Amino acid sequence: MKPSITRYLLAFLPLLFLFFSSCSNYPTQPPSSGSNADQLHSLSKVTFTEDFETGTKTSYASGDVNFTSGTWTLSDALVGTSSSDRKNGSKSVRVRNTGTVTMKFDCVNGASSVTVLHAKFGSDGSSTWGLWYSTDGGITWTQTGSDVTTSSTTLQSAAFNLNVTGNVRFQIRKAGGGANRINFDDFTVNDNLIVANDFLEDFEGGYKGSYSIGNVTFASGTWSLDDALTGTLSGDAKNGLQSIRIRNSGNLTMLFDYPSGASTVTVQHAVFGSDGSSTWQLWYSTDSGSTWSQAGSTVSTSSATLQTASFTLSITGNVRFQIRKISGGSNRINIDDFTISKGSGSGGGGGTPPDEHLVMGNPTGAVHDISYPANYLMQKYQYDLSYNRDNGIPNWTAWHLSSAWLGSVTRQNDFRNDTTLPAGWYQVQSTSYSGSGYDRGHMCPSADRTITVTDNSATFLMTNMIPQAPNNNRGPWAKFESYLRTLVQSGDEIYIYSGGYGSQGTIDNGHVLVPAYTWKVALVLPDGNNDLSRVNSSTRVITIEIPNNNTQVSQSDDWKLFRVSVDYVESQTGYNFLSNVPDSIQAQIESVVDNQ
């Protein structure tokens, strides 16, 4: 968090290069002066914005233009500077017919969201357009979201939520409207990096130009701004290009739940321009906005330079926040860089330190080091796994399941290769199992991650899959997954490991091993805190092993037919599950075959 630059530096030394060059042609020099907060902001902010101000192109003929971020190809498009061009600043891009605006460079940190400002040129009629992305240097393209209709002569913000990791570049394609022209400006990419296990909203990705109540989608999710807007003027105190400006008794409200609780919240705040002092409060809700409680004391804002307000809390599970301006009348305040440090309870996405998913142990001592390609640790926000490069599947996947991970998000079905694998490693594709007779079998299930679209989508990375026989995957395996969720819905939380062992050949031209057996280990606890310390000799551990074929297994089989002990799976795999649990307790709970 910003008040402690040492904390971030220690956490991110391996990533500093990525932070300073999130897009390959983007300026790489950090600020040379400014406060500690300003310098730290350059490390922690992972936002890329192109305002199209620095390039020139006066004809519609296809050609390349060098902007601040890098080189873009404008086809049937130019840089508009006339009074009829809708723009922030002196320029925007103007596109006609079926023209395109294409990045010729990659953003290396992926993308969690993209926002684009768009409006009709002059008195032209409406048009439609779409946003496309490429993860292979522009060889193939995929559309994200739906086509957008541009019908206003005032710049509007179009937001696209993604879950793309690794290299990515974007293209705007005008899809309808014929010769009608569209202006595009302020193209913003929010990187897909997890910052020090904290939540950071820097309010860079969305746009709202009026004080009337309305919703804005930022990188973290959708926020309601009432008597508030996104401030971009010189009088707005901000880190980056914009912050939130609030007047009168306005408020700023999260319209989504953060699932990991909160131990600390920090907010940057300052008066707007030469306005007088105002006061404001932080409020929180643990029931999705039905009721609210104040956090800490009222804060007075009197400085035109951003200051940090810190609030200490003890919240576990779902929480959302609201900032309420309560005095100062029409004096305006700026709010920026809203940060949450996670709670220490059992909530999804955070939970018990040091790592939520591996609280009970790392079964193979996997490390994030390419020198260990057969036991390569990959830590996602949603789960952790040990990946085997040569087998093309995880040795194991580990995840924590609690009610904070379960919501109403539908299955995304966006199977895809994992671009976060080290350079040069083969990436199993969404089509790699096609025609093999095997399902793309989730280790961490889709239905265990339904609190956000991003969380659900993450389960469809092919590094989270192994080839599973349909009778196994759709039968007892699926039934066991469902049973574990019923335990959570009844008040439990579960630490789960899943994988396969043995071999019955390969698919995908030898790139993907087909395990002979699949297994799962599930340690069940009642909801609570300090989970590791609560494991005792009576703790329930459910372990199953299922033959990975359609002859020994039927889809009608009960999962209970396949129960074994942890010790048995350890003897077959050589792994050491629950290695963080005291040896004496391990010996008791790992030798038992569940019979409940």
SS3 195: coil
Angle made by CA atoms 339, 158, 203, in degrees to the nearest 5: 15
Mean pLDDT rounded to a whole number for the chain: 86
pLDDT at residue 353 tops 50: no
pLDDT at residue 583 tops 60: yes
Single-letter amino acid code for the residue at 298: T
Q: Assign domain 1-35+47-190 to its CATH superfamily.
A: Galactose-binding domain-like (2.60.120.260)
Q: Tell me what pLDDT residue 204 has.
A: 84
Give residue-wise pLDDT tens across range 260-311. 778 788 899 999 999 999 999 999 999 899 999 998 889 999 999 889 888 8
Of the chain, the percentage scoring pLDDT greater than 70 comes to 88
pLDDT at residue 347 tops 50: no
Q: Tell me what pLDDT residue 23 has.
A: 60
Give the mean pLDDT of 96-106. 94
Positions of CATH 2.60.120.260 in the chain? 1-35+47-190, 197-343
Give me 589's structure tokens.
């709970």
State the residue for tokens 């296990």.
197
Distance, in Å, from the CA atom of 163 to the CA atom of 417, rounded to the nearest integer, reads 12
Q: Which residues of 498-518 are buried (b: 16+ CB within 10 A; e: fewer)?
A: bbbbeeeeebbeebbbbbebb
State the residue for tokens 């409680």.
293
Q: Architecture of domain 376-589 in CATH?
A: 3-Layer(aba) Sandwich (3.40)
Give residue-wise pLDDT tens across range 514-569. 999 999 999 999 998 888 989 999 999 999 999 999 999 999 999 999 999 999 99
For residue 95, give the nearest of 174, 156, 177 by alpha carbon. 174
Give the mean pLDDT of 190-218. 78
* Catalytic residue numbers, as ranges: 442
- Tell me which of 20 and 342 has the higher pLDDT: 342
User: What is the radius of gyration, based on Cα positions, of the chain?
Assistant: 26
Among the ranges given (16-25, 101-110, 354-363), the one the predictor scored with the smallest mean pLDDT: 16-25
Positions of CATH 3.40.570.10 in the chain? 376-589
Fold held by 197-343: Jelly Rolls (2.60.120)
Kindly indicate the confidence band of residue 258, based on its pLDDT and cuts at 50, 70 and 90: confident
Q: Tell me what pLDDT residue 355 has.
A: 61
- Tell me which of 480 and 201 has the higher pLDDT: 480
State which H helix or E strand residue 16 sits in.
Answer: helix 16-20
Of the chain, the percentage scoring pLDDT greater than 90 comes to 67
pTM of the model: 0.47
